[in-house]
Amino acid sequence: MQEAARVTEITTEFQRIYDLLASIVGEGYVSTRKAERFLYSRDWTGTTSLLSPVEPDFVVMPKTTEEVQRIVRLANRYNIPLVPQCTNLTSLGVAHSWEGGIRIDLRRMNRILEVNEGDMYAVLEPGVTWGDFAKYIDEHHPEFAHPGCHGPAGAGVVPMYLSWGMPNDGFLTGSAENIQGLEVILPTGELIRTGSAIASPYWFGRLPLLDITGLFVGAMGSTGIITKAAIGIWPKHLKSDIYIAAPNYREGLYQISKKLVRANLGITWFMTVNHACLASFGGQPNSNIPLDPEAAGQPDYHAIITVKAYSEKEMDAKLESLTEIAQAGGAAHISTMEDLLTSFPTENRSILPNVLNEPSQTYTIVQDGGLEYSGTYGPMDTHADFYYACRRLCAEKYNWPIHWFSRFMKGGHYSCIRPCFFSYDRNDPEEVKRVHQMAKDCGRIALEHGAIPYKANPWKMRLIAEKADAGSVEFIRRLQKFLDPKGIMNPGSGRV
């Protein structure tokens, strides 16, 4: 809202909005209480990712699509900012009430509406969590595997895909490419569908009409509120988790990773980390991690790969080929995940499996451990140069071991690359400031190497705008203005 119209400053207006929201969702599902507004001023990273906490004026939890429509229309009528989210497990400040207004939490919209085994998709409401989805698929469709998520079990399935998050089968499916259609409430209150659901009762894909699904992906709620999404699912198969280590990140990346992604071996998960990241998984504090692992005689390339196969015979053949490629590329060690865990202290052996499905376990290895990262998507060609530039900067300028985490996606066509900063002391203002500056510096380095930051909060958008094509930026702004003429939808995030 404009400063002069901030509803908390006008008692009668504030009460009118509260009463209207309560008439839509019921008294029990709207709040202006300080304690609850405080909880929505932060995200699960704890630091709100370089951002100062800002409380919404109202928190509201609708149950139905019709209730969401009525809230959107109310926000339009009174020109009130509206920030959508699910489960309050957002990260990096993408759902942040910059100008107060209404925080609309969609967690009550948590139905799994359809699982179509024939066409291999599920239709979900936005409040369905990864824990909900896994339990439902295991109980009702045991021949299928839910995609899994690189995040907590309480995080939302649909928001992960909409923000270009990393499903556990991302090497097979990519990220938001696995969305097969959406139901969306536009910022002006109209309801639309995308993909095949525009003209068919089946959500089989984003084809063959004009594909408008992308208008709502990566937009962080600035172009509409999603009330249904169709997500692709896949049959269960045998799987093996393999660990590979190599002395040098560059050589490991180009001599092992690059060849494996082209070998068509049934890989569904392909993660690479550096020595500092793996050491943190094993419980090592930053003070014990060398800034130059190669000079310290530590392998700096570590890959964890999931291979799936239809039969034991097929699996044996795939693993044989994987081993041959890794050995030819200079791998110093090839083993199973179970073997890797035996090298960890007993108390830390549960961390790495959790990292594969719930990385938040890692971020609290030390007391008061904080998390920050400068997440990007980028090409493989510049990946190694990007890594060494960030490692050198963090070591020389900040005396800090960067925790490098990356995932190859969609058959290796692109990478999700995260320069991370684990386990810093959130109670030390100077350390928080240092980590925040490292994240910004790595974001600049990313753009210099052709990678693009994602989860676009304002500081990331400012970096992107410095490099982005001016005509494209202007077109995106006109498009967002067309969809949201009053500028009420998540102002501050998802906007260039």
pLDDT per residue as tens digits for the range 246-268: 999 999 999 999 999 999 999 99
pLDDT at 436: 84
How far apart are the C-alpha atoms of 474 and 74, rounded to whole Å?
Answer: 29
Q: Look at the alpha carbons of 466, 471, 473, 477 in this order and tell me if their dihedral is positive or negative.
A: positive
Q: State how far the Cα of 29 lies from the Cα of 106, in Å rounded to an integer.
A: 11
pLDDT attached to residue 216:
96
What Å distances lie between residue 373 and 399, 410, 446, 454, 455, CA to CA? 17, 22, 12, 11, 11
Class of the domain covering 3-105: alpha beta
Q: Over the range 79-111, which residues count as b (16 or more CB within 10 Å of their CB) and which as e? A: ebbbbbbbbbbbbbbbbbbbbbbbbbbbbbbbe
The answer to whether 126 and 185 have CB atoms below 8 angstroms apart is no
Inform me whether the pLDDT recorded for 74 exceeds 70: yes
State yes or no: cis peptide before 84, omega within 30 of 0.
no
Which CATH number applies to 112-235: 1.10.620.20, 3.20.20.70, 3.40.50.720, 3.30.465.10? Answer: 3.30.465.10
Cβ neighbours of 201 (radius 10 Å): 7
Residues 6+ apart with CB under 8 A from 79: 1, 2, 5, 486, 488
User: d(Cα 233, Cα 173) in Å, to the nearest integer?
Assistant: 10
Average pLDDT, rounded, for the chain: 87
Angle at the Cα of 51 from the Cα atoms of 47 and 56, rounded to 5 degrees? 95
Euclidean distance between CA atoms 236 and 310, whole angstroms: 9
Q: How confident is the model at residue 182 (pLDDT cuts 50, 70, 90)?
A: very high
What pLDDT is stored for residue 1 in this prediction? 42
Report phi then psi at 270, rounded to 5. -145, 100
More confident residue, 145 or 94: 145
Domain 238-453 homologous superfamily, CATH = FAD-linked oxidases, C-terminal domain (3.40.462.10)
How are the residues of the chain apportioned to helix, strand and coil, as percentages rounded to the nearest 5?
40, 20, 40
Residue scoring higher pLDDT (422 or 338): 338
Q: What is the DSSP string of 356-391?
A: HH-GGGGGGSSTTEEEEE--EEE-STTHHHHHHHHH
- Check: pTM over 0.85? Answer yes or no: yes
**275 within 8 A of 290, measured Cβ to Cβ:** yes
Q: How far apart are the C-alpha atoms of 458 and 439, rounded to whole Å? A: 14
Triad 10, 12, 14: Cα angle to 5°: 65
pLDDT at residue 473 greater than cutoff 60 = yes
Q: For the chain, which residues make up each domain, given as ranges?
A: 3-105, 112-235, 238-453
- pLDDT tens for 128-179 read 999 999 999 999 999 998 888 877 788 899 999 998 988 888 999 999 999 9
Strands, sheet with 102-105, edge to edge from the N-terminal-most edge strand: 30-31, 58-60, 102-105, 82-85
d(CA 275, CA 245): 10
Q: Residue 126 pLDDT > 90, yes or no?
A: yes
Residue 460 exposed, middle or buried by CB count within 10 Å (0-12, 13-18, 19+): buried
The residue among 219, 279, 176 whose CA lies nearest residue 461 is 219
Residue 366 pLDDT > 70: no
The pLDDT of residue 52: 67
Rounded distance between C-alpha atoms, residue 354 and residue 28, angstroms: 35
Q: What band does 493 get if pLDDT is binned at 50, 70 and 90?
A: confident
Pair type for strands 376-378 and 452-453: antiparallel
